[in-house]
Amino acid sequence: MKTLLLIIIGLAVGRFSFSQDNITIQDLREECIRGQAEPIVIPNKNNNANFQLQADSLTSIETFSSSSGDLIQIKNWGCEYHTLTFKIETKKCKADTESLKYWYVKTYELMKEIEPELDAPIKINDGLEALNLYVSKNVYDLKLEEEIDFGGDDIRSFITLHSIEKNENNNYVIEISFSIGPL
């Protein structure tokens, strides 16, 4: 009975965390310098924006449809680093996933289309300009998972193109992150 009472008190105060399949349910706002995740998509009648705050109160998943019909998922996450990870599902692009020059350019173009629909805490346009410069300087040596700096003397800002995959619907999914930190 004493153990049950301690568990109930621990749950009420929020000091216990439960983990299942690497998913931790705990409010981490007091543990991190960054505050609670907030929506960054500017809602309008055409984009069907949906915001879901996750159990840790620092992470959110936001989904919407761009004006050109692409499906976008944004993971707003991090503690020491604040990161926005975009997954863009598009029907417009068709190329081998190994054609990195093509995908870097298309990622730039797709993000330029999306950016006006965002009120982001990270300077997306600055990151995209750094991405464009990186492509022009490294056209024959492009790689995934490169951290491309785009600002910050004291606090670093960088962009990373993680992956390009063809999904079961024959659409392409591009994953790109914009990060700032350590905070």
Q: What is the pLDDT along the chain (183 residues), one digit of tens a residue?
A: 333 333 333 333 333 333 344 444 455 556 788 888 999 999 887 788 999 999 988 899 999 998 888 999 999 999 889 999 999 999 989 899 999 999 999 999 999 999 999 999 999 999 999 999 999 999 999 999 999 999 877 899 999 999 999 999 999 999 999 999 998
Whole-number pLDDT of residue 29: 59
Report how far apart, in Å, the C-alpha atoms of 40 and of each of 51, 69, 156 are.
9, 18, 21
Residue 16 forms part of a structural domain: no
Residue 114 forms part of a structural domain: yes
Instruction: Report how many domains make up the chain.
Output: 1
Residue 44 forms part of a structural domain: yes
Residue 10 forms part of a structural domain: no
Hey, what amino acid is at 40?
I
Comparing CA positions, the residue from 134, 128, 133 lying closest to residue 146 is 134
Q: What is the pTM of this model?
A: 0.82
Residue 164 forms part of a structural domain: yes
Residue 14 forms part of a structural domain: no
Q: Which domain holds residue 101?
A: 28-181
Residue 166 forms part of a structural domain: yes
Residue 138 forms part of a structural domain: yes
